[in-house]
Amino acid sequence: MSVDYDELSVGYEFPVASYELDAALVSRYLKAVDSRGDDHVPPLAVAARALAAMAGWLSLPGGTIHASQEFEFFKLVSVGSTVECRARVTRKLARGGMRMLILQLDVFDQTKERVQSGKATIILPA
């Protein structure tokens, strides 16, 4: 079930998403970004899955823009690892013809250590 902008409030937590970063997925990612890679998962591949997992819970109208993105990487993730992504709304703003959401993402490995954190700013049409 997805939620739309009106149903979201600051502090809203999306369902926890767990996903495996297997060799096939990493291989597709490396082909897409024209990179060689090594024995660990590129941090932006981890981030891309985390963002997509969160976006899967959001019902966003056409014209929605991913305006900005921040990341901080803490730990390498080995190919084949399973990670867990937690996401929540940290800011919600409606002003004039603009609606904005700021979403915080935190990704953890199987030992519950934080792998990376990120902040996505999304602008929705009014």
Partner 1 sequence: MAADTGEGKSVAPIVRHITQEKINLYAEASGDFNPIHVDETFAAGTPLGGTIAHGMLLLAYASEMMAQAFGRKWDSGGKLSARFKRPARPGDTATVTGKVDSIKEENGTWCASCSFECRNQNDEAIVVGEAVVALPESEE
Binding residues for partner 1, per CB under 8 A?
A: 25-26, 28-29, 31-35, 40, 42-45, 47-49, 51-53, 55-56, 62-63, 65-76
Is residue 118 classed as helix, strand or coil in its secondary structure?
Answer: strand
Minimum distance, C-beta of residue 21 to partner 1, in the bound complex (Å): 10
Alpha-carbon span 74 to 87, nearest angstrom: 17
Q: Which is nearer to partner 1, 77 or 89 (CB)?
A: 77
Minimum distance, C-beta of residue 82 to partner 1, in the bound complex (Å): 15
Among all chains, which residue has been given the structure tokens 């963002």? 51
Minimum distance, C-beta of residue 29 to partner 1, in the bound complex (Å): 4
Q: Which is nearer to partner 1, 47 or 89 (CB)?
A: 47
Where do the H-state alpha helices sit in the chain? 23-32, 43-55
Alpha-carbon span 65 to 101, nearest angstrom: 10
